[in-house]
Structure 1
Amino acid sequence: MNVLPKRSNTQRFHIKGVLYFFLIIFLLIFSSIITGTQLDQFFNHDSLGQFAVLWQKMFHPYWPYWSYVVGPLLDTIRMALVGTLLGTIIAIPFALLSARNIVSLGWLRGVIRVISNLVRTLPDLLLAAVFTAILGFGPLAGVVTLLIFTFGQMAKLMFEAIETIDQGPLEALEAAGASKVQIIIFAVVPQVLNTFFSNFLYTFEVNVRASTVIGYVGAGGIGQLLQVTINQFRYDETAVIIFVILIVVVLIEFMNNYLREKLA
């Protein structure tokens, strides 16, 4: 005879779930008090009315405006592609120098990892604002921003992948007297190549989204056009831009998923 396991009172009355719910509510209220945020302002009549007006305008897109969106959209994709490619190329030697099974000098690995970690902690919006001030408004500031962002991310992803590879081929080549370069080419690269391309595609997908945001601070691309339409209260044109961005991001995600499955 099958007997169902007896549940405790905690499981029966979902006490943990209730406690987590009240904990989240408490933290929300506590953080609003600390930061001086008035939560009721989000739900007053003026805010809801303004939201309804904005939503109504965006539900009537000005479709002829799409012809003005194509150029900045292509700039956004080019920014993401060039920034991802250059950042990945720069990240490769840093990833190799950060891997414990490639470099035996602990101090050298530590210095390289600290550099990568410092770069990765810088927000992309901050980088975009800085390089916009240095290089001026336009795609060049966006490319440099995405290059640095990609470098920090790819350096971490790749050195972690390198450290998890099978050590057998490395030890065999080392015992045969192969140089470090030969070990990397014939033992490391074949094992991490698929992971490398998968990480590259993922980073490119992230950079397409990021390039839209950093364009909002003047780094070129469709984000800059988005800022103009919002500042001019042309929400019907803003709706067209958001729709185009959504379609492009979805297409890129489907393409990346298809390529990752082929690489698996």
Structure 2
Amino acid sequence: MKSDTNLADSTPIPSISPSSNYLITNGLGNTKRSKRIATWMLFIVIIVVCSIYIDVTPYQLFVGLPEMGVLLKEMFPPDWSYLPTIWAPMLQTIKIAVAGTILGAIPAIPAALFSANNITPNKWLSLPIRTLLNLVRTVPDLLFAAIFVAVFGIGPFAGMLALLFFSFGIIAKLTYESLEAIDPGPLEAMTAVGANRIQIIVFGVIPQALPAFISYLLYTFEINIRAATVLGFVGAGGIGLLLNQSLGLFRYDRAATIIILTLAVVLIIDYTSTSIRRKLL
């Protein structure tokens, strides 16, 4: 009597013919192609439906193009004599962004520590803070600025407060996500030798999370420079206030000067910030 092993060895293994293999491969390819086509069709249908809903037509685009040409003609050449007037508001815009970013980053540190599950495993503490961060991030910076202008009046203070809340929400969110991704090895080793919670945070958590935190700080500052330019439209100070006035008075040549200066400042800050972040990460 043959053993089970011999029976298994003698059992022929069915082979797949080349034609069957082709049919299987071709069928899988057709399935992927059908899914891809269906996805693109769904995407196109969504665009068409949304365009119809908000009354967007190609006719509006063709009608607006000549008007855009007229506007560009009125913007150029820019009024370079307006530069001495806009230097001070431009510096004010940068100060608003700097103050809002730094003051928002300070409370973001403890908020991130209390939100990270591996640092604060207590759900009763981390969950309310995460909910608060979600609520803060759902409010646009322009809405924050409009609220603070109504409360504190027109000026840069309202703009700084708006960017403070915006920076707090985004930096805390990104930081606590990076905290949850740190290497748990050093933390476990420190716990094994009897380190307390504060020592673990200071010597185990912060050294790992600091480069990412600085990167998020610089990234938020880049966003705030652009945001601070627009906050002036609701009276929150900065260069946006002069830009709004120039557009209201149809001085598009002055508006072009403001836009070019703002673009130059933003590009310089973005380049500097990106270089620093590359060295840190």
Amino acid at match of 1:153: I
Q: Report the TM-score when normalising by structure 1.
A: 0.89
Q: 1:258, CA displacement in angstroms?
A: 1.3
Residue 82 (structure 2) aligns with: 65
Q: 1:56, CA displacement in angstroms?
A: 0.4
Name the CA distance, whole Å, in 2 between partners of 1:16 and 1:184.
48
Higher Cα Rg: structure 1 or 2? 2
Residue 223 (structure 1) aligns with: 240
Q: How does 1:104-119 map to 2 (within 5 A)?
A: 104-119=121-136
Name the CA distance, whole Å, in 2 between partners of 1:173 and 1:20.
50
Name the CA distance, whole Å, in 1 between partners of 2:186 and 2:39.
49
Residue 273 (structure 2) aligns with: 256
Q: From 71, 74, 94, give the equivalent of 1:54.
A: 71
1:80 aligns with 2:80: no
Amino acid at match of 1:176: V
1:26 aligns with 2:26: no
Q: From 178, 197, 200, give the equivalent of 1:180.
A: 197
Residue 165 (structure 1) aligns with: 182
Q: 1:179, CA displacement in angstroms?
A: 2.0
Q: From 86, 97, 103, give the equivalent of 2:120.
A: 103
Name the CA distance, whole Å, in 2 between partners of 1:256 and 1:87.
18
Name the CA distance, whole Å, in 2 between partners of 1:172 and 1:237.
62
How has the CA–CA distance of structure 1 residues 155 and 52 changed in structure 2, closer, same or farther, with 3 Å as cutoff?
Answer: same
Q: Determine helix, strand or coil for the equivalent of 2:85.
A: helix
Q: Is the 8 A contact 1:32 1:39 kept in 2?
A: no
Q: 1:50, CA displacement in angstroms?
A: 2.2
1:91 aligns with 2:108: yes
Q: State, as a whole percentage, how many aligned pairs show the same letter.
A: 47
Name the CA distance, whole Å, in 2 between partners of 1:203 and 1:139.
18
How has the CA–CA distance of structure 1 residues 22 and 100 changed in structure 2, closer, same or farther, with 3 Å as cutoff?
Answer: closer
Residue 163 (structure 2) aligns with: 146
How has the CA–CA distance of structure 1 residues 58 and 109 changed in structure 2, closer, same or farther, with 3 Å as cutoff?
Answer: same
Name the CA distance, whole Å, in 2 between partners of 1:178 and 1:29.
60
Name the CA distance, whole Å, in 1 between partners of 2:229 and 2:104.
18
Q: 1:259, CA displacement in angstroms?
A: 0.8
Unaligned runs of 5+ in 2: 1-21
Residue 3 (structure 1) aligns with: none
Choose 135-144 or 175-184, whichever is displaced more: 175-184
Residue 41 (structure 1) aligns with: 60
Q: Is the 8 A contact 1:128 1:142 kept in 2?
A: yes
In the TM superposition, what whole-angstrom CA distance separates every residue of 1:128-167 from its partner, at most 9, and x where no partner exists?
A: 1111111111110010000000000011111011111111
Amino acid at match of 1:188: V
Q: 1:106, CA displacement in angstroms?
A: 1.4
Q: 1:38, CA displacement in angstroms?
A: 4.8
How has the CA–CA distance of structure 1 residues 19 and 103 changed in structure 2, closer, same or farther, with 3 Å as cutoff?
Answer: closer
Residue 3 (structure 2) aligns with: none
Q: 1:84, CA displacement in angstroms?
A: 0.3
In the TM superposition, what whole-angstrom CA distance separates every residue of 1:200-237 from its partner, at most 9, and x where no partner exists?
A: 11110111011111221111101111101001110000
**How many equivalent residue pairs?**
255
Amino acid at match of 1:64: S
